[in-house]
Amino acid sequence: RIMRPDDANIAGNVHGGTILKMIEEAGAIISTRHCNSQAEEPCVAALARVERTDFLSPMCIGEVANVSAEITYTSRHSVEVQVNVMSENILTGAKKMTNKATLWYVPLSLKNVNKVLEVPPIQYARKEQEDEGKKRYEEQKLDRLETKQRNGDVILPVINPEPHTVGYSQSSLIHLVGPSDCTLLGFVHGGVTMKLMDEVAGIVAARHCKTNIVTASVDAINFHEKIKKGCVITVSGRMTFTSNKSMEIEVFVDADPFVDEPRERYRAVSAFFTYVSLSKEGKPLPVPQLLTETEDEKRRFEEGKGRYLQTKAKRQAQMQQAAQQ
Encode 79-134 in three state secondary structure: EEEEEEEEEECCCCCCEEEEEEEEEEEEEEECCCCCCECCCCCCCCCCHHHHHHHH
Shortest reach from residue 179's CB to a second copy, in Å: 4
Residues 219-238 that bind a second copy (CB under 8 A): 229-230, 232
Q: Which is nearer to a second copy, 48 or 204 (CB)?
A: 204
C-alpha closest to that of 212 among 98, 56, 60, 18 = 60
Is 143 catalytic? The answer is: no
Within 199-325, strands assigned E span 213-218, 221-223, 232-242, 247-256, 266-277
Instruction: Kindly report the backbone phi and psi dihedral angles of residue 73, in degrees, each rounded to the nearest multiple of 5, phi listed first.
Output: -160, 145
Q: Which residues make Cβ contacts (< 8 Å) with residue 20, sequence separation at least 6? A: 50, 53, 101, 191, 194, 195, 198, 218
If one asks whether residue 200 binds a second copy (CB under 8 A), the answer comes out as yes
We find the least distance from the C-beta atom of residue 311 to a second copy, in angstroms, to be: 27
Number of residues that bind a second copy (CB under 8 A): 58
Name which of 81 and 220 has its Cβ closer to a second copy: 81
- Does 10 participate in binding a second copy (rule CB under 8 A)? yes
Site for a second copy in 35-64 (CB under 8 A): 36-37, 42-44, 61-62, 64
Determine, following the binding rule CB under 8 A, whether residue 1 of this chain makes contact with a second copy.
yes
Q: Which of 7, 99, 181, 198 is catalytic?
A: 198
Active-site annotation holds for 9: yes
Residue 322 sits in the site that holds a second copy (CB under 8 A): no
117 touches 41 (CB < 8 A): yes
Residues 119-158 interacting with a second copy (rule: CB under 8 A): 156-157
290 binds a second copy (CB under 8 A): no
- Of 56 and 182, which CB lies nearer to a second copy in the complex structure? 182
CB atoms within 10 A of CB 131: 11
Interface map 74-93 toward a second copy (x if CB under 8 A)? --------------x-xxxx
Query: How far apart are the C-alpha atoms of 86 and 9, rounded to whole Å?
Result: 19
Minimum CB distance to a second copy smaller for 186 or for 303: 186
Query: b/e map of 274-299 (b: 16 or more CB within 10 Å)?
Result: bbbbbeeeeeeeebeebbbeeeebee
State yes or no: residue 202 binds a second copy (CB under 8 A).
yes
| CA 27 distance to own-chain centroid | 13
Binding mask 11-40 for a second copy (x = CB under 8 A): --------------xx-xx--xx--xx---
Nearer to a second copy, 58 or 202 (CB): 202
| 264 belongs to the binding site for a second copy (CB under 8 A) | no
CB 82 within 8 A of CB 102: yes
- Out of 9, 66, 84, 89, the active site residue is 9
312: Cβ contacts below 8 Å, ≥ 6 apart: none
Cβ–Cβ < 8 Å for 187, 226: yes
Using the minimum distance from each CB to a second copy, give the nearer residue, 81 or 203: 203
CA 298 – CA 52 distance, rounded (Å): 24
Compute, in degrees rounded to 10, the torsion defined by CA atoms 236, 23, 79, 273.
-30
Q: Which residues are catalytic?
A: 9, 198
Which residues sit at the interface with a second copy, rule CB under 8 A? Answer: 1-2, 4-6, 9-10, 25-26, 28-29, 32-33, 36-37, 42-44, 61-62, 64, 88, 90-93, 110, 156-157, 159, 163, 171-176, 178-180, 184, 199-200, 202-203, 206-207, 210-212, 229-230, 232, 256, 258-261
